[in-house]
Every structure is written in structure tokens, then in C-alpha cells.
Amino acid sequence: MNCEICGVKEPAVLALLPIPKEDGSLNTIVCEKCLEKSTAYCQKHRQIHLGFADGTTVCPHCVDEMKARTRHLAESLQDRIRQVSKPDEFEEVSEHVKGASYIMNWSADEALHHFLITKAMRAKLDTEKILSIIIKERLPLLLIN
Ligand SMILES: [Zn+2]
Ligand SMILES: [Zn+2]
């Protein structure tokens, strides 16, 4: 197989990046050089990003680091989100929270914090900034989309 970015033939290392292709497939096969240059690869953690349906990606270790740095934002997060949500919106957010809480053994606040950080990093926005948008504009569903 050849690198789908630079076209090099039969490279020793091939990696699967979460970059959608024009043919509709969700991944791109790349050589080591293209991997390290890709925006879907974290140099710091030597880690391929997680990909999302909208084409954005994020490094899971960078998410963990940002969570540790912004732990204070997790406090009462569920209550803050509830206050700005319509009932059906809050229910939709809660369904996502339940799934993540169950798998990762997180509290609802911790799960929402995780969604918040992931969203901020995918959107390349400051975490406090995206939280203030969600609260002020009453857009709780931003957290899970
Ligand atoms: Zn390549
Ligand atoms: Zn990283």
C-alpha cells in the first residue's frame, strides 16, 4: 500500500489517520513522514488523534492534561448546564453523560467536564471561552455535538 498523502510506495510504516477522504472513507493511510506532519497527530505525546464525524480531531492525552489544569471548571457543572437547558435538551445531554459516566466511572460533573474540554480543543477555543458561550447563549447541546 502507498501513502495516500505523498504517494510514496510501500513505506515500512503505515498509519491510519482519522482524516476523511473525498471518496467518503473516514480514514487516510499515511507514511511515517506524513503522519508526523499531520494536524491529526500529536508531536508531544506521539499519539494519533481521535477523530469526530465533523472532521475535527483531538489528542486524548492533551485532553487529559487540559482536564487536570481546569479541574475547577468541573465543579457544579451539571447544575450550571441544567440551569441554561430546556428540559428536552438537558435530557439529551444527560443521556450522553450516562453513557460516559458508566464506561469511565465518572460523576456527571466529570463527564461534562470531559465533553467540555474535548469540544474546546476540537474547536480550538479556550475552555473558559466555550463554557461562557454555552452558558450565556444557552447552548447546552454544543457540549455533545
Ligand atoms: Zn507520505
Ligand atoms: Zn497530545
- 94, 76, 74: which is closest to 140 by C-alpha? 94
Question: Angle at the Cα of 143 (from 137 to 145), degrees rounded to 5?
Answer: 110
Q: Convert 73-121 into a string of H (helix), E (strand) and C (coil).
A: HHCCHHHHHHHCCCHHHHHHHHHHHHHHHHHHCCCHHHHHHHHHHHHHH
Q: Please report which ligand is nearest the Cα atom of 66.
A: 2
Does one domain contain both 69 and 126? yes
pTM recorded for the entire structure = 0.89
Q: Please report which ligand is nearest the Cα atom of 43.
A: 2
Residues whose beta carbons lie less than 5 angstroms from ion ligand 1: 3, 5-6, 31, 34
Please give the residue range of the domain that contains residue 38.
14-46
Distance from residue 96's CA to the centre of ligand 1 (Å): 37
Q: Please report which ligand is nearest the Cα atom of 4.
A: 1
- 124, 114, 115: which is closest to 64 by C-alpha? 114
CA distances from 32 to 8, 66, 85, 109 (A): 10, 27, 45, 39
pLDDT score of 24: 86
pLDDT score of 63: 97
Strand partners, 41: 48
- 44, 74, 77, 73: which is closest to 58 by C-alpha? 44
Does one domain contain both 69 and 136? yes
pLDDT score of 145: 86
Does residue 130 lie in a domain region? yes
Report residue 133 as a C-alpha cell.
Answer: 458561550
pLDDT score of 22: 87
Q: Please report which ligand is nearest the Cα atom of 33.
A: 1
Distance from residue 58's CA to the centre of ligand 2 (Å): 8
pLDDT score of 25: 87
Does one domain contain both 130 and 95? yes
- 73, 79, 84: which is closest to 136 by C-alpha? 84
pLDDT score of 26: 87
Q: Please report which ligand is nearest the Cα atom of 34.
A: 1
pLDDT score of 53: 85
Report residue 88 as a C-alpha cell.
Answer: 428536552
Which of the residues in the chain have pLDDT under 70? none
Does one domain contain both 76 and 99? yes
